[in-house]
Copies of this chain bind each other. A is one copy, B any other.
Amino acid sequence: MSMKIGILGYGNLGRGVECAVKQNPDMELKAVFTRRPPKSISLLTKGVGVHSVEEAKNWKEEIDVMILCGGSATDLPEQTKELVKYFHVVDSFDTHAAIPEHFEKVDKAAKEGGKIGIISCGWDPGMFSLNRLYAETILPTGKEYTFWGKGVSQGHSDAIRRIEGVKDARQYTIPVEEALNSVRNGENKELTPRQKHIRECYVVLHENGDREKIEKEIVTMPNYFADYDTKVHFISEEELKRDHMGIPHGGFVIRSGKTGWEEENSHIIEYSLKLDSNPEFTSSVLAAYARAAYRLAKEGQKGCKTVFDIPPAYLSPKTGEELRSCLL
């Protein structure tokens, strides 16, 4: 009685889900759906077919949970609300500001179709959100800080790549050690973007790229770099390929709070991630929440859910008895 999993979208995230399914003995990969020519894709898993996204809905009897592995900019806003008409779905929608709107649309479609749609499963939104929530409810008198990195920011790397004369680029977001320590010491300062994060850029130029002009364009770019201390390193394409092809990431959620009648006692709750592969970790979160979707569906629940709505036990293959005796 293993869960039959479908994957829609076979980039880094989709491949990560494929690997995660392999690590979960109660799951079975049933099919992968893509917008590319299906024959152009070869899976890691033997004996599983690749099909066109247009065919997906014909598989609705075959698949228990469809994991949506598209991007948040254009794919998921369309796909999740459409696919949840036919499948229980899980996505990693991560445009924070647009989550309420995405939720409403998915909720409406899911309720009409009698399905479960779990959105925004990953690490931020996702595990970081959960930790913000738990920490804030336990220590209501306090202050919360989220730091990201050290890790590759795709959006910031893309912004550099769009500059004329740039051939390729990788941007690392790095938390400032002094800021982290100040928070851990319970100093509860207001911290500016510049005080919290450094932005480090590795840039490969086109032959005629103007080093000085490009560096200035990067460090003064509004929203992306102007509010930060930004370091720019020009490197060769070989160096980029040799040293910067990984997709590491991570970060810290820290809450500093007070208890006691006169708020005389201080407490620090810290959650941190150090990830070799940002997409594979997100994929692993998606797989765990696919199990939750399956369980909720078995109970006859429907509608849109987030990590806030899911009892933690639903993520685990263990029974309640096992969890209480092994993990509690």
- Interface presence of A22 (CB below 8 A): yes
- Interface presence of A1 (CB below 8 A): no
- Interface presence of A308 (CB below 8 A): yes
Residue ID in chain B nearest A185 by CB atoms: B274
Residue among A120, A125, A132, A271 with most chain B CB within 10 A: A271
The residue that A288 contacts in the complex, of B44, B125, B137, B291, with Cβ under 8 A, is B137
The residue that A272 contacts in the complex, of B140, B260, B270, with Cβ under 8 A, is B270
User: Given A137-B315, A280-B265, A284-B139, are A99 and B324 neighbors across the interface (CB < 8 Å)?
Assistant: yes
- Interface presence of A267 (CB below 8 A): yes
- SS class, residues of chain A in contact with chain B: helix
| B interface footprint on A9-37 (CB within 8 Å = 1, 0 otherwise) | 00000001011101110000000000000
- Interface presence of A313 (CB below 8 A): yes
- Interface presence of A155 (CB below 8 A): no
| B interface footprint on A278-293 (CB within 8 Å = 1, 0 otherwise) | 0011011100100100
Q: Which of A283-328 contact B (CB under 8 A)?
A: 283-285, 288, 291, 306-313, 315-317, 320-321, 323-325, 327-328
- Interface presence of A188 (CB below 8 A): no
- Interface presence of A235 (CB below 8 A): no
A177 to chain B, nearest CB (A): 16
The residue that A269 contacts in the complex, of B20, B184, B273, with Cβ under 8 A, is B273
Bound state CA distance, A46 and B310, in angstroms?
Answer: 39
- Interface presence of A232 (CB below 8 A): no
- Interface presence of A275 (CB below 8 A): yes
- A306 neighbours in B (Cβ, 8 Å): 323-324, 328
Contact yes or no, A323 B311, CB < 8 A: no
Bound state CA distance, A324 and B23, in angstroms?
Answer: 30
A residues lining the B interface (CB < 8 Å): 16, 18-20, 22-24, 44, 96, 99-100, 103, 120, 125, 127, 129-134, 136-141, 184, 259-261, 265-277, 280-281, 283-285, 288, 291, 306-313, 315-317, 320-321, 323-325, 327-328
